[in-house]
A = this chain, B = another copy of it.
Protein backbone atom coordinates (compact mmCIF):
# COMPACT_ATOMS: atom_id res chain seq x y z
CA UNK A 1 0.00 0.00 0.00
CA UNK A 2 1.16 3.47 -0.89
CA UNK A 3 0.92 6.58 1.24
CA UNK A 4 -2.55 7.90 2.13
CA UNK A 5 -4.06 9.99 -0.65
CA UNK A 6 -6.60 12.78 -0.92
CA UNK A 7 -9.55 12.48 -3.25
CA UNK A 8 -11.74 15.52 -3.93
CA UNK A 9 -15.27 14.90 -5.12
CA UNK A 10 -16.74 17.94 -6.87
CA UNK A 11 -20.52 17.87 -7.01
CA UNK A 12 -20.63 15.39 -4.13
CA UNK A 13 -24.27 16.25 -3.48
CA UNK A 14 -25.03 13.87 -6.33
CA UNK A 15 -25.76 11.38 -3.59
CA UNK A 16 -26.00 8.17 -5.59
CA UNK A 17 -22.64 8.71 -7.21
CA UNK A 18 -20.93 9.69 -3.95
CA UNK A 19 -22.35 6.71 -2.09
CA UNK A 20 -21.19 4.38 -4.88
CA UNK A 21 -17.68 5.79 -4.56
CA UNK A 22 -17.69 5.34 -0.81
CA UNK A 23 -18.87 1.73 -1.20
CA UNK A 24 -16.22 1.03 -3.84
CA UNK A 25 -13.50 2.63 -1.69
CA UNK A 26 -14.52 0.48 1.25
CA UNK A 27 -14.99 -2.71 -0.76
CA UNK A 28 -11.55 -2.33 -2.32
CA UNK A 29 -10.16 -1.38 1.12
CA UNK A 30 -7.00 -0.18 -0.57
CA UNK A 31 -6.57 3.36 0.71
CA UNK A 32 -6.01 3.28 4.51
CA UNK A 33 -5.57 6.70 6.06
CA UNK A 34 -6.77 8.46 2.96
CA UNK A 35 -9.04 11.49 2.88
CA UNK A 36 -12.11 12.05 0.75
CA UNK A 37 -13.17 15.66 0.54
CA UNK A 38 -16.79 16.24 -0.51
CA UNK A 39 -17.48 19.56 -2.17
CA UNK A 40 -20.83 20.86 -3.37
CA UNK A 41 -22.75 24.11 -3.60
CA UNK A 42 -25.76 22.51 -1.85
CA UNK A 43 -24.90 22.54 1.84
CA UNK A 44 -27.75 20.33 3.00
CA UNK A 45 -26.96 17.55 0.55
CA UNK A 46 -23.31 17.95 1.37
CA UNK A 47 -23.93 17.48 5.10
CA UNK A 48 -26.08 14.42 4.51
CA UNK A 49 -23.61 12.61 2.28
CA UNK A 50 -20.79 13.52 4.66
CA UNK A 51 -22.63 12.08 7.66
CA UNK A 52 -23.56 8.98 5.72
CA UNK A 53 -20.00 8.33 4.57
CA UNK A 54 -18.63 8.78 8.07
CA UNK A 55 -21.13 6.26 9.47
CA UNK A 56 -20.32 3.89 6.60
CA UNK A 57 -16.61 3.57 7.36
CA UNK A 58 -17.30 3.65 11.08
CA UNK A 59 -19.55 0.61 10.83
CA UNK A 60 -16.85 -1.23 8.88
CA UNK A 61 -13.93 0.00 10.95
CA UNK A 62 -12.15 1.19 7.83
CA UNK A 63 -9.62 3.98 8.08
CA UNK A 64 -10.95 6.56 5.63
CA UNK A 65 -11.47 10.21 6.57
CA UNK A 66 -14.16 12.45 5.14
CA UNK A 67 -14.15 16.21 4.85
CA UNK A 68 -16.75 18.53 3.42
CA UNK A 69 -16.55 22.01 2.05
CA UNK A 70 -18.46 24.57 0.00
CA UNK A 71 -15.13 25.98 -1.14
CA UNK A 72 -13.59 24.44 -4.25
CA UNK A 73 -10.11 25.63 -3.33
CA UNK A 74 -10.25 23.76 -0.02
CA UNK A 75 -11.38 20.60 -1.79
CA UNK A 76 -8.73 20.74 -4.51
CA UNK A 77 -5.81 21.81 -2.33
CA UNK A 78 -3.15 19.07 -2.44
CA UNK A 79 -5.55 16.48 -3.84
CA UNK A 80 -4.16 13.45 -5.64
CA UNK A 81 -7.41 12.77 -7.46
CA UNK A 82 -10.33 14.97 -8.34
CA UNK A 83 -13.58 13.37 -9.40
CA UNK A 84 -15.84 15.85 -11.11
CA UNK A 85 -19.46 14.85 -11.12
CA UNK A 86 -20.90 18.37 -11.07
CA UNK A 87 -23.75 19.30 -13.39
CA UNK A 88 -24.24 23.07 -13.48
CA UNK A 89 -27.83 23.87 -12.62
CA UNK A 90 -28.78 20.22 -12.40
CA UNK A 91 -31.73 18.47 -13.99
CA UNK A 92 -34.10 21.31 -13.11
CA UNK A 93 -32.35 23.66 -15.50
CA UNK A 94 -32.13 20.96 -18.15
CA UNK A 95 -35.85 20.27 -17.97
CA UNK A 96 -36.74 23.98 -17.97
CA UNK A 97 -34.65 24.58 -21.08
CA UNK A 98 -36.18 21.54 -22.74
CA UNK A 99 -39.64 22.91 -22.03
CA UNK A 100 -38.72 26.26 -23.57
CA UNK A 101 -37.44 24.51 -26.69
CA UNK A 102 -40.57 22.37 -26.94
CA UNK A 103 -42.69 25.53 -27.01
CA UNK A 104 -40.76 26.50 -30.16
CA UNK A 105 -41.31 23.21 -31.93
CA UNK A 106 -38.27 21.26 -30.72
CA UNK A 107 -39.63 17.99 -29.39
CA UNK A 108 -37.58 16.86 -26.38
CA UNK A 109 -35.53 20.04 -26.50
CA UNK A 110 -32.87 21.46 -28.71
CA UNK A 111 -29.37 20.06 -28.90
CA UNK A 112 -29.81 17.07 -26.67
CA UNK A 113 -32.33 14.85 -28.36
CA UNK A 114 -29.99 12.07 -29.14
CA UNK A 115 -28.92 13.20 -32.62
CA UNK A 116 -25.48 12.34 -33.80
CA UNK A 117 -24.56 15.93 -33.12
CA UNK A 118 -26.04 16.08 -29.65
CA UNK A 119 -23.91 16.55 -26.57
CA UNK A 120 -26.72 15.30 -24.30
CA UNK A 121 -26.61 18.82 -22.84
CA UNK A 122 -28.53 21.47 -24.76
CA UNK A 123 -26.86 24.74 -25.35
CA UNK A 124 -26.69 27.23 -23.79
CA UNK A 125 -26.77 24.74 -20.89
CA UNK A 126 -23.65 23.07 -22.27
CA UNK A 127 -21.77 26.35 -22.01
CA UNK A 128 -22.34 26.39 -18.25
CA UNK A 129 -20.79 22.93 -18.11
CA UNK A 130 -17.82 24.00 -20.26
CA UNK A 131 -17.21 26.95 -17.99
CA UNK A 132 -17.52 24.89 -14.82
CA UNK A 133 -15.20 22.16 -16.11
CA UNK A 134 -12.64 24.66 -17.28
CA UNK A 135 -12.81 26.57 -13.99
CA UNK A 136 -12.18 23.36 -12.07
CA UNK A 137 -9.27 22.31 -14.29
CA UNK A 138 -7.73 25.79 -13.99
CA UNK A 139 -8.13 25.71 -10.23
CA UNK A 140 -6.42 22.33 -10.24
CA UNK A 141 -3.45 23.90 -12.05
CA UNK A 142 -3.15 26.19 -9.04
CA UNK A 143 -3.99 23.92 -6.12
CA UNK A 144 -3.13 20.38 -7.20
CA UNK A 145 -1.28 20.55 -10.52
CA UNK A 146 -0.17 16.92 -10.40
CA UNK A 147 -3.55 15.44 -9.55
CA UNK A 148 -5.56 13.30 -11.93
CA UNK A 149 -8.97 14.58 -12.89
CA UNK A 150 -11.54 11.81 -13.35
CA UNK A 151 -14.36 13.45 -15.30
CA UNK A 152 -17.68 11.77 -14.61
CA UNK A 153 -20.32 14.32 -15.61
CA UNK A 154 -21.32 15.09 -19.20
CA UNK A 155 -20.51 16.10 -21.78
CA UNK A 156 -17.43 13.90 -21.30
CA UNK A 157 -16.28 14.13 -24.93
CA UNK A 158 -16.44 17.90 -25.24
CA UNK A 159 -15.49 18.63 -21.64
CA UNK A 160 -12.38 16.45 -21.60
CA UNK A 161 -11.28 17.81 -24.99
CA UNK A 162 -11.70 21.38 -23.76
CA UNK A 163 -9.87 20.82 -20.47
CA UNK A 164 -6.95 18.96 -22.02
CA UNK A 165 -6.59 21.64 -24.69
CA UNK A 166 -6.74 24.58 -22.32
CA UNK A 167 -4.93 23.27 -19.24
CA UNK A 168 -2.03 21.01 -18.34
CA UNK A 169 -4.15 18.81 -16.07
CA UNK A 170 -4.14 15.04 -16.56
CA UNK A 171 -7.72 14.12 -17.44
CA UNK A 172 -9.47 10.78 -17.75
CA UNK A 173 -13.09 10.84 -18.88
CA UNK A 174 -15.12 7.98 -17.47
CA UNK A 175 -18.42 6.49 -18.53
CA UNK A 176 -20.09 3.10 -18.20
CA UNK A 177 -21.83 2.99 -21.56
CA UNK A 178 -19.37 0.48 -22.96
CA UNK A 179 -20.86 -2.22 -20.72
CA UNK A 180 -23.61 -2.30 -23.33
CA UNK A 181 -21.72 -5.16 -24.95
CA UNK A 182 -22.79 -7.32 -22.00
CA UNK A 183 -26.41 -6.83 -23.02
CA UNK A 184 -25.54 -8.11 -26.48
CA UNK A 185 -23.97 -11.18 -24.85
CA UNK A 186 -27.01 -11.69 -22.63
CA UNK A 187 -29.53 -11.44 -25.47
CA UNK A 188 -27.47 -13.73 -27.67
CA UNK A 189 -27.15 -16.17 -24.76
CA UNK A 190 -23.35 -15.97 -24.57
CA UNK A 191 -21.21 -16.51 -21.50
CA UNK A 192 -19.87 -12.99 -20.84
CA UNK A 193 -16.57 -14.38 -19.58
CA UNK A 194 -15.84 -15.82 -23.02
CA UNK A 195 -16.61 -12.58 -24.84
CA UNK A 196 -13.69 -10.45 -25.98
CA UNK A 197 -14.40 -6.96 -27.28
CA UNK A 198 -12.85 -3.72 -28.43
CA UNK A 199 -14.89 -0.53 -28.70
CA UNK A 200 -13.62 2.86 -29.80
CA UNK A 201 -14.79 6.28 -30.91
CA UNK A 202 -15.87 9.30 -28.92
CA UNK A 203 -17.71 9.01 -25.64
CA UNK A 204 -21.34 8.08 -26.40
CA UNK A 205 -20.27 7.30 -29.96
CA UNK A 206 -18.41 4.01 -29.68
CA UNK A 207 -18.52 1.02 -32.00
CA UNK A 208 -17.76 -2.64 -31.53
CA UNK A 209 -14.59 -3.05 -33.60
CA UNK A 210 -13.90 -6.49 -32.14
CA UNK A 211 -16.46 -9.02 -30.95
CA UNK A 212 -15.09 -12.47 -30.32
CA UNK A 213 -16.59 -15.43 -28.52
CA UNK A 214 -14.28 -18.14 -27.40
CA UNK A 215 -11.58 -16.69 -29.63
CA UNK A 216 -13.72 -16.55 -32.77
CA UNK A 217 -15.39 -13.61 -34.54
CA UNK A 218 -18.89 -13.48 -33.09
CA UNK A 219 -20.43 -10.92 -35.45
CA UNK A 220 -22.07 -13.80 -37.36
CA UNK A 221 -23.98 -14.58 -34.16
CA UNK A 222 -25.38 -11.05 -34.19
CA UNK A 223 -26.29 -11.39 -37.88
CA UNK A 224 -28.03 -14.68 -37.19
CA UNK A 225 -29.96 -13.17 -34.31
CA UNK A 226 -31.06 -10.27 -36.52
CA UNK A 227 -32.06 -12.68 -39.27
CA UNK A 228 -33.96 -15.16 -37.14
CA UNK A 229 -34.80 -13.77 -33.74
CA UNK A 230 -34.84 -9.99 -33.71
CA UNK A 231 -38.42 -9.49 -34.90
CA UNK A 232 -39.74 -11.86 -32.25
CA UNK A 233 -37.60 -10.13 -29.61
CA UNK A 234 -38.94 -6.71 -30.59
CA UNK A 235 -42.52 -7.97 -30.70
CA UNK A 236 -42.42 -9.09 -27.11
CA UNK A 237 -39.75 -7.15 -25.30
CA UNK A 238 -40.46 -4.77 -22.46
CA UNK A 239 -37.10 -3.11 -21.98
CA UNK A 240 -36.32 -0.79 -19.13
CA UNK A 241 -35.61 2.76 -20.34
CA UNK A 242 -31.90 2.06 -20.07
CA UNK A 243 -32.05 -1.09 -22.19
CA UNK A 244 -31.63 0.15 -25.74
CA UNK A 245 -28.72 -2.03 -26.74
CA UNK A 246 -30.67 -4.53 -28.86
CA UNK A 247 -33.32 -2.14 -30.13
CA UNK A 248 -34.26 -1.65 -33.77
CA UNK A 249 -32.31 1.61 -33.52
CA UNK A 250 -29.12 -0.30 -32.77
CA UNK A 251 -29.64 -2.84 -35.52
CA UNK A 252 -30.42 -0.17 -38.13
CA UNK A 253 -27.27 1.75 -37.20
CA UNK A 254 -25.32 -1.48 -37.50
CA UNK A 255 -26.83 -2.22 -40.90
CA UNK A 256 -25.99 1.23 -42.21
CA UNK A 257 -22.56 1.63 -40.65
CA UNK A 258 -21.23 -1.91 -40.54
CA UNK A 259 -20.30 -2.04 -36.84
CA UNK A 260 -22.57 -2.41 -33.83
CA UNK A 261 -23.10 0.77 -31.78
CA UNK A 262 -22.54 0.31 -28.08
CA UNK A 263 -24.27 1.78 -25.03
CA UNK A 264 -25.26 5.42 -25.24
CA UNK A 265 -24.30 5.38 -28.91
CA UNK A 266 -27.56 3.56 -29.52
CA UNK A 267 -29.48 6.40 -27.87
CA UNK A 268 -28.01 8.76 -30.44
CA UNK A 269 -28.40 7.61 -34.01
CA UNK A 270 -30.29 9.24 -36.82
CA UNK A 271 -32.50 12.16 -35.90
CA UNK A 272 -35.33 10.45 -37.74
CA UNK A 273 -35.44 8.03 -34.79
CA UNK A 274 -36.26 10.94 -32.52
CA UNK A 275 -38.77 13.08 -34.40
CA UNK A 276 -41.75 12.08 -32.24
CA UNK A 277 -42.70 9.73 -29.43
CA UNK A 278 -44.16 7.44 -32.09
CA UNK A 279 -40.83 7.34 -33.94
CA UNK A 280 -38.97 6.73 -30.70
CA UNK A 281 -41.29 3.84 -29.82
CA UNK A 282 -40.76 2.29 -33.22
CA UNK A 283 -36.98 2.40 -32.89
CA UNK A 284 -36.51 1.95 -29.13
CA UNK A 285 -39.50 -0.10 -27.95
CA UNK A 286 -42.61 0.66 -25.91
CA UNK A 287 -41.05 3.32 -23.67
CA UNK A 288 -39.48 5.15 -26.61
CA UNK A 289 -36.02 4.58 -25.14
CA UNK A 290 -34.01 6.46 -22.56
CA UNK A 291 -34.64 9.90 -24.06
CA UNK A 292 -38.38 9.91 -24.61
CA UNK A 293 -40.67 11.70 -22.15
CA UNK A 294 -41.58 8.26 -20.80
CA UNK A 295 -38.07 6.82 -20.50
CA UNK A 296 -36.46 9.99 -19.25
CA UNK A 297 -39.36 10.54 -16.85
CA UNK A 298 -38.80 7.08 -15.36
CA UNK A 299 -35.09 7.76 -15.11
CA UNK A 300 -35.64 11.02 -13.23
CA UNK A 301 -38.12 9.28 -10.92
CA UNK A 302 -35.71 6.39 -10.27
CA UNK A 303 -32.99 8.92 -9.56
CA UNK A 304 -35.21 10.84 -7.18
CA UNK A 305 -36.23 7.65 -5.37
CA UNK A 306 -32.62 6.54 -5.02
CA UNK A 307 -31.62 9.93 -3.63
CA UNK A 308 -34.62 10.00 -1.27
CA UNK A 309 -33.67 6.55 -0.03
CA UNK A 310 -30.09 7.64 0.62
CA UNK A 311 -31.16 10.77 2.48
CA UNK A 312 -33.70 8.80 4.47
CA UNK A 313 -30.92 6.53 5.67
CA UNK A 314 -28.63 9.52 6.19
CA UNK A 315 -31.22 11.13 8.45
CA UNK A 316 -32.02 8.00 10.44
CA UNK A 317 -29.14 7.27 12.83
CA UNK A 318 -30.84 4.05 14.00
CA UNK A 319 -30.18 2.00 10.86
CA UNK A 320 -26.92 0.37 9.86
CA UNK A 321 -25.93 1.97 6.55
CA UNK A 322 -23.79 -0.97 5.48
CA UNK A 323 -26.73 -3.33 5.84
CA UNK A 324 -28.83 -1.32 3.43
CA UNK A 325 -25.93 -0.49 1.11
CA UNK A 326 -23.45 -3.39 1.50
CA UNK A 327 -19.79 -2.72 0.65
CA UNK A 328 -19.48 -4.44 -2.70
CA UNK A 329 -17.80 -3.17 -5.82
CA UNK A 330 -19.98 -1.45 -8.38
CA UNK A 331 -19.04 -1.50 -12.06
CA UNK A 332 -17.93 2.16 -11.94
CA UNK A 333 -14.32 2.49 -13.02
CA UNK A 334 -13.24 5.40 -10.78
CA UNK A 335 -11.98 3.53 -7.71
CA UNK A 336 -10.30 0.71 -9.68
CA UNK A 337 -8.50 3.34 -11.79
CA UNK A 338 -7.28 5.10 -8.64
CA UNK A 339 -6.24 1.73 -7.24
CA UNK A 340 -4.31 0.98 -10.43
CA UNK A 341 -2.48 4.32 -10.40
CA UNK A 342 -1.80 4.40 -6.64
CA UNK A 343 -1.36 0.75 -5.68
CA UNK A 344 -0.30 -0.68 -9.05
CA UNK A 345 -3.36 -2.93 -9.15
CA UNK A 346 -3.15 -3.24 -12.89
CA UNK A 347 -6.49 -3.24 -14.70
CA UNK A 348 -8.13 -2.90 -18.10
CA UNK A 349 -10.44 0.06 -18.55
CA UNK A 350 -12.44 1.94 -21.13
CA UNK A 351 -11.41 5.57 -20.88
CA UNK A 352 -11.53 8.93 -22.61
CA UNK A 353 -8.13 10.53 -23.16
CA UNK A 354 -6.49 12.81 -25.73
CA UNK A 355 -5.88 10.99 -28.98
CA UNK A 356 -2.23 10.15 -29.59
CA UNK A 357 -2.67 8.61 -32.99
CA UNK A 358 -4.89 5.90 -31.51
CA UNK A 359 -7.62 6.83 -33.98
CA UNK A 360 -5.63 7.78 -37.03
CA UNK A 361 -8.34 9.85 -38.71
CA UNK A 362 -8.94 12.00 -35.64
CA UNK A 363 -6.73 14.97 -34.69
CA UNK A 364 -4.57 14.58 -31.63
CA UNK A 365 -6.20 17.50 -29.84
CA UNK A 366 -9.47 15.61 -29.55
CA UNK A 367 -10.35 13.22 -26.72
CA UNK A 368 -11.19 9.70 -27.86
CA UNK A 369 -12.62 6.69 -26.06
CA UNK A 370 -10.32 3.69 -26.14
CA UNK A 371 -9.51 0.60 -24.10
CA UNK A 372 -6.38 0.97 -21.97
CA UNK A 373 -4.44 -0.77 -19.29
CA UNK A 374 -3.61 1.34 -16.23
CA UNK A 375 -0.98 0.77 -13.55
CA UNK A 376 1.35 2.87 -11.39
CA UNK A 377 3.24 3.97 -14.48
CA UNK A 378 0.11 5.41 -16.00
CA UNK A 379 -2.02 4.69 -19.04
CA UNK A 380 -1.03 2.12 -21.64
CA UNK A 381 -3.00 1.95 -24.86
CA UNK A 382 -2.44 -1.19 -26.88
CA UNK A 383 -3.21 -1.83 -30.50
CA UNK A 384 -6.37 -0.06 -31.59
CA UNK A 385 -8.48 -1.44 -34.41
CA UNK A 386 -9.29 1.50 -36.70
CA UNK A 387 -12.86 2.55 -37.30
CA UNK A 388 -14.07 2.30 -40.90
CA UNK A 389 -14.35 5.51 -43.00
CA UNK A 390 -18.14 5.30 -42.97
CA UNK A 391 -18.23 5.83 -39.21
CA UNK A 392 -15.46 8.41 -39.20
CA UNK A 393 -17.09 10.44 -41.99
CA UNK A 394 -20.75 10.24 -41.11
CA UNK A 395 -20.63 10.08 -37.31
CA UNK A 396 -17.37 11.21 -35.73
CA UNK A 397 -16.42 14.08 -38.04
CA UNK A 398 -19.80 15.83 -37.90
CA UNK A 399 -19.84 15.50 -34.11
CA UNK A 400 -16.27 16.81 -33.88
CA UNK A 401 -17.12 19.82 -36.03
CA UNK A 402 -20.16 20.51 -33.93
CA UNK A 403 -17.92 20.48 -30.88
CA UNK A 404 -15.56 22.98 -32.52
CA UNK A 405 -18.55 25.20 -33.30
CA UNK A 406 -19.63 25.08 -29.66
CA UNK A 407 -16.11 25.88 -28.48
CA UNK A 408 -15.96 28.80 -30.90
CA UNK A 409 -19.22 30.18 -29.53
CA UNK A 410 -18.08 29.49 -25.97
CA UNK A 411 -14.81 31.35 -26.46
CA UNK A 412 -16.02 34.30 -28.52
CA UNK A 413 -19.61 34.93 -27.42
CA UNK A 414 -20.49 35.06 -31.12
CA UNK A 415 -24.25 35.19 -31.64
CA UNK A 416 -23.93 34.33 -35.35
CA UNK A 417 -22.39 30.99 -34.45
CA UNK A 418 -25.30 30.24 -32.12
CA UNK A 419 -27.73 30.90 -34.95
CA UNK A 420 -25.69 28.91 -37.46
CA UNK A 421 -25.68 25.93 -35.09
CA UNK A 422 -29.41 26.21 -34.55
CA UNK A 423 -30.10 26.33 -38.29
CA UNK A 424 -28.30 23.02 -38.49
CA UNK A 425 -31.10 21.39 -36.48
CA UNK A 426 -33.41 19.57 -38.90
CA UNK A 427 -36.39 20.76 -36.85
CA UNK A 428 -35.61 24.40 -37.44
CA UNK A 429 -38.07 25.28 -40.18
CA UNK A 430 -37.45 29.03 -40.36
CA UNK A 431 -34.69 31.40 -39.35
CA UNK A 432 -37.19 33.28 -37.19
CA UNK A 433 -38.03 30.14 -35.24
CA UNK A 434 -34.35 29.71 -34.37
CA UNK A 435 -33.94 33.36 -33.45
CA UNK A 436 -37.01 33.31 -31.22
CA UNK A 437 -35.85 30.16 -29.46
CA UNK A 438 -32.47 31.73 -28.78
CA UNK A 439 -34.15 34.86 -27.37
CA UNK A 440 -36.26 32.71 -25.07
CA UNK A 441 -33.40 30.47 -23.95
CA UNK A 442 -31.31 33.49 -23.09
CA UNK A 443 -34.03 35.20 -21.11
CA UNK A 444 -34.13 32.20 -18.76
CA UNK A 445 -32.74 33.44 -15.45
CA UNK A 446 -30.02 30.80 -15.07
CA UNK A 447 -28.59 31.92 -18.43
CA UNK A 448 -28.40 35.58 -17.42
CA UNK A 449 -24.61 35.81 -17.35
CA UNK A 450 -24.07 34.11 -20.68
CA UNK A 451 -26.94 36.14 -22.16
CA UNK A 452 -24.77 39.17 -21.43
CA UNK A 453 -21.74 37.43 -22.87
CA UNK A 454 -23.59 36.74 -26.13
CA UNK A 455 -25.06 40.24 -26.25
CA UNK A 456 -28.69 39.23 -25.72
CA UNK A 457 -28.97 41.61 -22.80
CA UNK A 458 -26.88 44.56 -21.64
Chain A contacts to B: CB under 8 angstroms = 252, 255-258, 270-272, 275, 279, 389-390, 393-394, 397-398, 401, 404-405, 408, 414, 416-417, 419-421, 423-424, 426, 428-431
For residue A2, give the distance in angstroms from its CB to the closest CB of chain B: 45
Residue of B257, B401, B424, B430 near A420 (CB, 8 A) is: B257
Q: Which residues of B contact A279 (CB under 8 A)?
A: 430
- By the criterion CB–CB under 8 Å, are A401 and B393 in contact? yes
What is the CA–CA distance of A431 and B251 in the complex, to the nearest angstrom?
13
Copies of this chain assembled into the complex: 2
* In the complex with contacts A252-B431, A272-B431, A420-B394 CB distance below 8 A: yes
What is the CA–CA distance of A426 and B430 in the complex, to the nearest angstrom?
12
Q: Which residues of B contact A429 (CB under 8 A)?
A: 272, 275
Q: Nearest residue in B to A434 (C-beta to C-beta)?
A: B272
- By the criterion CB–CB under 8 Å, are A393 and B416 in contact? no
Residue of B272, B393, B398, B423 near A270 (CB, 8 A) is: B423
- By the criterion CB–CB under 8 Å, are B272 and A428 in contact? yes
- By the criterion CB–CB under 8 Å, are A424 and B275 in contact? no
20 contacts between A and B (CB under 8 A): A252-B431, A255-B416, A256-B416, A257-B416, A257-B420, A270-B423, A272-B423, A272-B428, A389-B404, A389-B408, A390-B420, A393-B401, A393-B404, A394-B417, A394-B420, A394-B424, A397-B401, A398-B398, A398-B401, A401-B401
Q: Which residues of B contact A252 (CB under 8 A)?
A: 431
* In the complex with contacts A258-B416, A416-B256, A429-B272, A421-B394 CB distance below 8 A: yes
What is the CA–CA distance of A252 and B416 in the complex, to the nearest angstrom?
10
Q: Which residues of B contact A389 (CB under 8 A)?
A: 404, 408
Q: Which residues of B contact A270 (CB under 8 A)?
A: 423, 431
- By the criterion CB–CB under 8 Å, are B431 and A408 in contact? no
* In the complex with contacts A272-B430, A429-B275, A390-B404 CB distance below 8 A: no
- By the criterion CB–CB under 8 Å, are B256 and A419 in contact? yes
Q: Which residues of B contact A394 (CB under 8 A)?
A: 405, 417, 420-421, 424
- By the criterion CB–CB under 8 Å, are A393 and B419 in contact? no
What is the CA–CA distance of A275 and B432 in the complex, to the nearest angstrom?
14
For residue A105, give the distance in angstroms from its CB to the closest CB of chain B: 13
For residue A202, give the distance in angstroms from its CB to the closest CB of chain B: 15
Query: 13 new A-B pairs (CB below 8 Å) besides A389-B404, A393-B408, A394-B424?
Result: A256-B420, A257-B416, A272-B423, A272-B429, A272-B431, A275-B429, A389-B408, A390-B408, A394-B405, A394-B417, A394-B420, A398-B398, A426-B426
